[in-house]
Structure 1
Amino acid sequence: MTYGADGHPPPQAQYPAYPPQGYPPPGYPQPGYYPPPGYYPQPGYGYYPPPAPQALKPGIVSLRPLTMSDIFNGAVSYVRLNPKAALGLTAIVVIIAQAIALLIQIGPITSLGSLDPETVNATGGLGVSDPAFIGLMLSSMAGAATTTIAAIVLSGLLTVVVGRSVFGAKITAGEAWHRARGRLLPLLGFTALEVLAVTVLVGIAAGLTALMYYVAGIGAAVAVGLLLLLGVAALTIWGVTLLIFAPVAIVLERAGLVDAVTRSLALVRKDFWRVLGIWLLGTLVASVIAGTVSVPFSLVGQLMLMAGASTTGTVVASVLISIGGAIGQIITAPFTAGVVVLLYTDRRIRAEAFDLVLQSGATNRTADSGEAIDQLWLTPPQP
C-alpha cells in the first residue's frame, strides 16, 4: 500500500451512493409521497399536461363550435328544459291548424251527398258536379295554406324558445308569443317569396316541357321534362339551404326581410355542404319518426276509404288521418326547429366568434333576464 508524505494512507475515492433496488431516482417522489394539488412532474418523468378547460355550458349546448351530436342533443334537450313552451305551443298550433284544415275539407265532402254506389252514374263516374269538384279542390288548397301558415307561426315561436334555452333560461308560452308575434308578418312575407320562386320555376319547366311536346313529340317531352324536374329539385334544395337561416334572423336578430336574406347567405355560403348535410339528416330523422307514429292512423283511414265510399266513412277516415298527422307534427316539429336554430348558432360561432359574446353574457348572469338574453342575439357580427 502506498502512503502519503504524512505517513497516512490516501483517502478513498468518493462515489455517489445508489438507492436500494426498486426505489425511484433522487428527486423523484418517494413511495408513500403524494404531491400537492396542481403538481405535475417535470418533463421526462411522465409529464402530462393539465386538462383543457371545459367550455361554458349554461344551457342546452356548450358555448363553443358545435358538433352534429351537440346540435341533435340540444334539439331534444330544450324540449325537456321548457316542455310547456315547446310541446304546449306546438300542440296548440298544430291542433288548431289541423282542425281548421279538416273542417275546410269536410265541408265540400258532405255537400256532395252520399258517395254510395247508387250515386254512381251510368258511365261509371261519380255524380259530382263541376262546382262541387272545384269546391273540393279549393278546400284542399285552403287546407294546405292553413297548415303552411301554422308551420310559419310555430317556427317563430319555437325559435324564441330555443334562443332562451341556449342559456338555460325558462320561458312561458305567453312570453314566447309576446316575443314572436311582431315578427310573424316578415316570416309570412319571406315564405310567400319562397313559394313564388318555386312556382315560377315549376311554371317555366312545365312550359318548356309543353313546348317540347308540340315541337318534337311525346318522347322528347318526357326526356326534357325529367331533366327539368331534376333541375328544379336541385335548385330548390340549393335555394332553401342558402336561405335556411333567414327566418331565424328575422326572429332572433329582429332583421328585416332583405337583411335576413343577406345574413343567411353570408352564414351558409362558406359552409354550405355541412349545413345541408346536418339539416337533411335532421329532417330525415323527423320524417321517419312522424311517419312511424302516423302509420296506424293512416292505415286505418285508407282501409276505411277502400272498404266503402259513403260520406260518413270518408269523413271518419279524414279525421283519423288528420289525427295521425297532428301527433307526428307535435312530436317532431320542436326537434326540427331546434336543429335549424342550433345550426344557425354554430355558424355564428364559427364565422363571427359569437361564442365570446354568448360566454360573456352567461358569465354576467344574463340568463337571469330573458330580455337581456334576447339582446345578445342582436350583437353585431365580430370583425
Structure 2
Amino acid sequence: MTAYPAWTPAARPGIVPLRPLSFGVILGRSFSALRQNPRVLLGFALAVQSVATFLGSLAIVAILIAAYLRLDTLRPGTQAFDEVMAGSIAIGFGGSVLVSLVMSAVSVIVQGVVVAEVTRAVVAEKLTLRALWTQVKPVIWRLVGYTLLLTLVVLVALGIVVAGAVVLVLSDPVSGIVVALGVGLAAIPLALWLTVKLLLVPPAIILERATITGAIARSWTLTRGRFWSTLGVVVIISVAFGTIGQLVSLPFSLATTAVSTVLAPTGDPETGFLVALVVGGVLTQVVTVLVQSVALIVQSTATSLIYVDCRMRREGLDQDLLAYVERRDAGATDLDDPYTRHIGRAVAPRAAAPGPYAAYPPPPGAYPSPPAGAYPPPAGYTPPPGAYPPPARPEPEEGSHPWVKP
C-alpha cells in the first residue's frame, strides 16, 4: 500500500511576503501594518505618549516657575538680578533637556514594543501586550542606554559647533556667519547618513540580544548596499507626518487666536481669554500627541521591515522564516526563534530573475537533438518531395567492387 504525505493547510500570510521586499512594499506596509494589531500598537503607543507628554509638560512648567520665581524679589538692572537671571536660564535649559531625555527613553520603549510586534506579524503571529513586553523587557536598559548615548553625542557635537560659531562671529562677524552656514549645510547630509547607518540598532538589540556596540556594528553591516532605498523610506515618512502635523494643528491654532481676539479684543487677561487660550492649547496638544504616536508607530514599523529585508538579502532570513512557518503550521511546538538563527551568515548574491523574453536563438546545446529513430514517422506517411534529401553517397574506392576496373 502506498503511503502518501499527510495534508497540511497553507501557511498563514503575514503582513509582508516572505521574500526580499521592494521599496513600495516597505513603504506601503509601514502605513497599513497599524491595522494588524491596533489595540496593542495604537492603544499602547497613544497611552504611553499621552502620559509622558502630560507629565513632561508639567515638569517643564514646574521647573521654569521655580527657576524664575526668584526674580520677583529682585530689582531689575542690579547685579543680583543678572546673576539670578543667568542661573534661572541655565536651570530652565538643563531641566528641559533632562525632561526631553526621559521622554525620549519612553519613546524608545514604545518603539521596542512596535518592533517586536511587527516582526512577529511578519510570520502571521499576533501576540498580546504582555508577551511583547516579556520579549522587550530584558533589553530595555540597552535601548535606553543607546538613546541616551546618542543624544549625549549629538548635544556635545552641537555644543562644540555652536561654541566655535560664537567665537568666530565675535572675532570676525562675516567669516563667522559664512563658516556657520557652511557647517550647518554640511551637517544635513552627515545627519542623514548617520540616521540610515544607525537605523537598525534597536531591532538588533531587541531581536538578536546584541550589545550596544554589537548592535551598532550590525546596523552598519546590514545597511551596506541598501542606503538609498532606506533613506527614501525615512525621508518620505518624516516629511509626510511633518506635513500632516502642521495641517492638523494649524486650524486649532487659528481657531484659538480667533476666539481669543473676540473674547479679549484689548488684550487684557480676562477670564474668557484665559479659558480660550487653555482650551485651544490643550486641543492642539492632544492632536499633536495623536499624530506623534501614529508617526512613531509607522517609523518603527518601517525600521522593522527594513531590518527584515536587509537580513533576507544578506543572510537568507526568508528561508529561515519559511521553514519556521511550515513547521509551526504542521504542528511543531519546539521551535526556536527564527530571528536568532544564522545571525551574521553570508549567502551568495541571488541571480536576477529571467526576463519575460529569452534570448533567441538559444545557445548551442540548450536543446539537444533527439537520437535517431526516437520518433519514427506514422505508418502510411509520405514526406513531400525535397523534405528529406537523400544522404550523399561516398565515392567508391578503387578496387572495392569487382565490376570496377582498376
Q: TM-score range by the shorter chain?
A: 0.7 to 0.9
**1:233-244 alignment runs, 5 A limit:** 233-244=188-199
CA shift in 2, pair 1:135/1:262, >3 Å: closer
Q: Tell whether 2:240 aligns with 1:277.
A: no
Contact kept? 1:242, 1:264, Cα under 8 Å: yes
Greater alpha carbon shift after TM alignment, 78-87 vs 192-201: 192-201
SS of aligned partner of 2:48: helix
Q: Are the equivalent residues in 1 in contact too, given 2:53–2:103 (CA < 8 A)?
A: yes
1:319-340 deviation line (CA, Å, top 9, x unaligned): 3332122111232221111111
* 1:104-128 C-alpha deviation (Å, 9 max, x unpaired): 1333566678xxxxxxx999xxx99
Out of 338, 341, 344, the residue aligned to residue 376 of structure 1 is 338
2:292 is matched by which residue type in structure 1?
A: Q
Query: Whole-Å Cα distance in 2 between the matches of residues 309 and 110 of structure 1?
Result: 22
Distance verdict in 2 for CA 1:320–1:270, change over 3 Å = same
Q: Using the TM superposition, give the Cα deviation of residue 57 of structure 1 relative to its aligned residue in structure 2, in angstroms.
A: 6.8
Return 244-253 or 195-204, whichever deviates more: 195-204
Q: Which amino acid aligns with 2:341?
A: T
Q: Does 2:209 match 1:254?
A: yes
C-alpha change, 1:171 and 1:205, in structure 2 (3 Å) is same
One-letter identity of the residue aligned with 1:187: L
Instruction: State the superposition RMSD in angstroms.
Output: 3.4
Task: Structure 2 unaligned segments of length 5 or more: list them.
Answer: 1-9, 70-74, 347-406
Residue 78 of structure 1: which of 25, 33, 53 is its match?
33
CA distance in 2 between counterparts of 1:370 and 1:325 reads 44
For residue 63 of structure 1, give the secondary structure of its aligned residue in structure 2. Answer: coil
Q: 2:294 aligns to what?
A: 331
1:362 match: 325
Distance 1:367 1:331 in 2: 36
Moved more, 359-368 or 72-81: 359-368
Residue 260 of structure 1, CA deviation: 0.5
**224 and 180 in structure 1: CA distance in 2 versus 1, 3 angstrom threshold:** same
- 1:303 positional shift: 6.3
Determine whether 1:194 maps to 2:150: yes
Contact 1:294 1:321 in 2 (8 A): yes
Gaps of 5+ in 1: 1-54, 114-120
Q: Is the Cα–Cα contact under 8 Å of residues 290 and 331 in structure 1 kept in the other structure?
A: no
Please point out which of 17, 33, 54 is paired with 1:62: 17
Taking the TM superposition and a 5 Å limit, the aligned residue runs for 1:286-301 are 286-300=241-255
Cα deviations by residue, 1:17-46 (Å, 9 ceiling, x for unpaired): xxxxxxxxxxxxxxxxxxxxxxxxxxxxxx
Measured at CA, do residues 198 and 233 of structure 1 come closer, stay the same or move farther in structure 2, by a change above 3 Å?
Answer: farther
Q: CA deviation at 1:272?
A: 1.4
What TM-score results when the alignment is normalised by the length of structure 1? 0.73
Deviates more, 1:348-357 or 1:364-373: 364-373
**Separation in 1 of the partners of 2:33 and 2:335?**
19
Percentage of identical aligned residues: 26
Task: Measure, in 2, the Cα distance between the counterparts of 1:367 and 1:245.
Answer: 32
Given that residues 291 and 328 in structure 1 are in contact (C-alpha distance below 8 angstroms), is that contact kept between their aligned partners in structure 2?
no
Aligned in 2, Cα 1:300/1:287: closer, same or farther, shift over 3 Å?
same
TM-score of the two chains, using structure 2 as the length reference:
0.69
CA–CA distance in structure 2, aligned partners of residues 371 and 295 of structure 1? 54
CA distance in 2, matches of 1:254, 1:346: 19
Aligned to 1:36: none
Greater CA drift, 335-344 or 205-214 = 205-214
Q: State whether residues 19 and 318 of structure 2, in contact with CA within 8 Å, keep that contact through their aligned partners in structure 1.
A: yes
What residue is the counterpart of 1:43 in the other structure?
A: none
Matches of 2:54 and 2:61 in 1, distance apart?
10
